[in-house]
Structure 1
C-alpha cells in the first residue's frame, strides 16, 4: 500500500495539472484508502507522544482509551463511509445498530403484507418474499413498458431488494410516475456524500432531540420519535431541515434495517403541550415530505400521543374519507397511549414518558441508540 503511495507521489511530481487530475480520478479509491491509513497513523503517533509525559501505568491505560476513542470518532464521524449514506456500511459499523438476534428473526405475515378486506399493501419487498400473482403481473408489465419506451432502470433498483416493486406500489402501479420517481430517488442518492461541514450541522441539530430514533419494537423495527414542542424551537431554514431529514432517513436504511426482515420503522409523534393552531406545519412538512416522495413503504405505523381534543375531532372526520390503509397506519391514541403502543413495542424498549419502563431519552440523540 505504501509502495502505491510512493508511486503516486512520483508521478505527481512529473505530471502536468491535467494529467494529475486524470490520475486522481483513476486512483480516487486508492487515495481514499491511503488517507484513512494516514489518519490512523497520525492518531497512533499522537498517542505515542503521551508516553513521554505520563507515568507508565497511567499513560498506557489513557493512551489505549484515547486511541480507541479517536479511531471510533474517525470511523463514525469524519470518514466518507459515515458521511455517505448511499454506501452500504461494513458489518462492523452495522453491528452498532443491529442486534444479532435480528438476523435470525422471521417477520410475521402481517409484517410483510397488510391485508384489509380484499385489499393489501406490501411492507417487505425483498426478493425472498412470496409475491402475489397481481404484483408479479404489474412487475412484468412494467418491464414491457421499459422495453417499449427504450428506458433503462438505474443500477440497484431491480436486484434482490426489489426497489422497483416498492416504487411501483408507492405510485399506485402507474408506470410513468414510477419511472420518474426512481430517477428522482437516484438523483437524491447521487447528491451524497454530504460535506463534513453540513454533517456537523446535522449532528448538532439531531442532538437537540426534536426528532430521534431510540430502540426497536417487537419486530425489530426502529422507533422514530418526533417531539413537536421541541420542533417548534427549530431555527434552521426549512430547506436544511429537509436535507437533514432525508440524510437521517437514508442513514437509518443503510445502518438499521435488514432487507427481507426489517424494512420499516414505527413512529411516535408527541403532541404534548401543542395545540392544533401551534403545530409548525411547514417544518413538519419539511420532515415528512421525503417519507412520501423518496422512501416509499417505509412507515409501518404512526402513533400520535398527547393530542388535544380538537385534533382528535378533526381525525374522526378525516378518517371517514381516507383509504383504510391510512386509517390503520395512523393511530390517534387516547389518554392511555400504552394500550396501543404495547401492542407493537415491548415495555422495556419504550420510554417512561410514553408508559414504558425505559428511562427517558434526554441527551446523546445522535447517532441513534438502537441496541
Structure 2
C-alpha cells in the first residue's frame, strides 16, 4: 500500500473487506458448514469475522479457534446457562465485587466496569461460588452480543461491536489479587478465546505501585492485540476517561456526573434497558466505529 494512503481502521469488518478477505470469509463459512459446526442462527458474518480477525485471517488457525470454541460451548453448557441460569445473589455480590455495564461511551460502546478494591474473597464465597461467577460472566457475554450491542447499534445508526472497559484497582493489594487470580485467569481466557474481538477500549485506573508485579502475571495471559488496547492510567485518569466517555454517562466517583438513584452498579442503565432507552452517549452522526 502506498505510504500516503492511510490503512482502513475497520479493515476486516463488514463493509470494509478486501477481495481476499471476502474470499476467505466465504471459504470459512463453507468449510464450517461442511464440517457440521455452523449454526445459522448464531454464526452470522459479523461473528465469523471476529474469529478471522483474531487469527489475522489465517483460515486454518481461525477454524481451529472456532471449533475449540464450539466444543467449549457444549462442555460449559452455554445454551443451558442462557436459558435457565439465575443469579439471585447479584446484590450481595455487588457489595463485594462490583461488575456491571453502565451506559455508553462517545462511540456508542457499552461501558463495562469492574472494581476489585472492595473484594473480600471470604465474604464473596460465602454468598456465591467461583463456578456461579463464571456462569454469570458467560451469561453477561451472551447478553452483550445478543442484547447490548444490537441496542447500541440501533441507537447510533452503525454497527457497534466492542465494549469500553474500566477496571478500577483502587485499594487493591497483592493479597487481594492473588486470592482471585485463578478466577480472573479463567475469565480472561474465556473472553479472549471464546468471545474474540469484543474489546474496544480497556482502561486500568488507580493502579497501585505493586501493579507492575500484577501485570507480570496477567500479561502472559493476553495476546499482543489485547495488550495494545489496554491503557494503564494510575490515579490521574479523569481527563482520559472523559475524552472517551461523556460526563453524564460516567460515574460521579470516577470523575463524571452520573448518580443513578438506585446506584449505578445495579441500574443496568443503557439503550438495552427498556426503562433507560434515553441513556445513550451523544455520538458523532457520521462516525463509524467498530
Report the TM-score when normalising by structure 1.
0.56
Q: Structure 2 vs 1, CA of residues 156 and 238 (structure 1 numbering), >3 Å: closer, same or farther? A: same
Q: Structure 2 vs 1, CA of residues 249 and 142 (structure 1 numbering), >3 Å: closer, same or farther? A: closer
Q: Structure 2 vs 1, CA of residues 284 and 251 (structure 1 numbering), >3 Å: closer, same or farther? A: same
Give the superposition deviation at 1:301.
Answer: 1.2
2:166 pairs with 268, 277, 283, which one?
Answer: 268
Partner of 1:77 in structure 2? none
Partner of 2:195 in structure 1? 295
> What are the Cα deviations for residues 298-322 of structure 1, in whole angstroms up to 9, with x where unaligned?
11111111111121476599989x8
Choose 1 or 2 for highest CA Rg: 1
Q: Which ranges of structure 2 fall in alignment gaps of 5 or more residues?
A: 1-7, 271-278, 280-290
2:39 pairs with 154, 162, 165, which one?
Answer: 154
Q: Structure 2 vs 1, CA of residues 182 and 274 (structure 1 numbering), >3 Å: closer, same or farther? A: closer
Partner of 1:348 in structure 2? 248
Secondary structure of 1:164's counterpart equals helix
Q: Which ranges of structure 1 fall in alignment gaps of 5 or more residues?
A: 1-108, 114-121
The within-5 A match list for 1:75-86 is none
Aligned residues of 1:154 and 1:186 also touching (Cα < 8 A): no
Count of aligned positions: 245
Partner of 2:79 in structure 1? 190
What CA RMSD, in Å, does the superposition of the two structures yield over aligned residues?
3.3
Q: Structure 2 vs 1, CA of residues 182 and 324 (structure 1 numbering), >3 Å: closer, same or farther? A: closer
More helix by share: 1
The within-5 A match list for 1:40-59 is none
Q: Structure 2 vs 1, CA of residues 365 and 335 (structure 1 numbering), >3 Å: closer, same or farther? A: closer
Partner of 1:310 in structure 2? 210
Q: Does 1:215 align with 2:103?
A: yes
Secondary structure of 1:257's counterpart equals helix
Q: C-alpha separation between the residues in 1 aligned to 2:208 and 2:231?
A: 14
Aligned residues of 1:338 and 1:355 also touching (Cα < 8 A): yes
Q: Structure 2 vs 1, CA of residues 158 and 283 (structure 1 numbering), >3 Å: closer, same or farther? A: closer
Greater relative contact order (CA < 8 Å, ≥ 6 in sequence): 2
Q: Structure 2 vs 1, CA of residues 361 and 271 (structure 1 numbering), >3 Å: closer, same or farther? A: farther
The within-5 A match list for 1:1-371 is 110=9, 112=10, 122=12, 125=13, 127=14, 129-143=15-29, 145-146=31-32, 150-151=35-36, 153-159=38-44, 161-172=45-56, 173=58, 174-184=61-71, 187=74, 188-195=77-84, 198-201=85-88, 203-204=90-91, 207-208=94-95, 210-233=98-121, 234-235=124-125, 236-258=128-150, 261-279=159-177, 280-312=180-212, 315=215, 325-359=225-259, 363=263, 365-366=265-266, 368-370=268-270, 371=279
Q: Structure 2 vs 1, CA of residues 218 and 151 (structure 1 numbering), >3 Å: closer, same or farther? A: same
Q: Structure 2 vs 1, CA of residues 332 and 276 (structure 1 numbering), >3 Å: closer, same or farther? A: farther
Q: C-alpha separation between the residues in 2 aligned to 1:146 and 1:255?
A: 25
Q: Structure 2 vs 1, CA of residues 199 and 146 (structure 1 numbering), >3 Å: closer, same or farther? A: closer
Aligned residues of 2:99 and 2:112 also touching (Cα < 8 A): yes
